[in-house]
Amino acid sequence: MLAEYWPILLFIGVAVGLGVVLLVIGLLAGPSRPEAEKLSPYECGFEAFEDARMRFDVRYYLLAILFIIFDLEIAFLFPWAVVFTKIGFVSLVEMALFILLLVIGFAYVWKKGALEWE
């Protein structure tokens, strides 16, 4: 039984070993010149200019979350389309209900103005 898993275990062992070897080589051979500028806090392409408690605009994050939600939900259509001929009419009704709920949610988000940038 273990002989069947031997190629997988060997592959995992070689991958982990190669990763460790490359990390060690990078640590030993790479230059290490810490300077004040390298050690200073840096985020999003600009210097930190205020304290950590400054206010951020939430609209970007809200739009990103909405994109992820609707994008992932639409991804459920692909496996359904592949097996549609095998699962029949009940599946068509269920998917229509699913899409209807997505459209209602999208209309709600649109009406609330979550997609506006002004």
Summarised one tens digit per residue, pLDDT across range 3-39 is 888 999 999 999 999 999 999 999 999 888 878 777 7
CB of 30 closer than 8 Å to CB of 78? no
Range of the domain at 110: 55-118
Q: What is the CATH number of the domain that holds 81?
A: 1.20.58.1610
Residue 105 lies in a domain: yes
pTM, whole model, 2 decimals?
0.49
Count of domains in the chain? 1
Confidence of residue 43 (pLDDT cuts 50, 70, 90): low
Does residue 40 lie within any of the structural domains? no
| Dihedral sign computed on CA atoms, order 44, 47, 48, 50 | negative
Highest-pLDDT range among 8-12, 38-42, 111-115 = 8-12
Any domain includes 5: no
Task: Tell me the one-letter amino acid at 30.
Answer: G
- Share of residues in the chain with pLDDT > 70 (%): 86
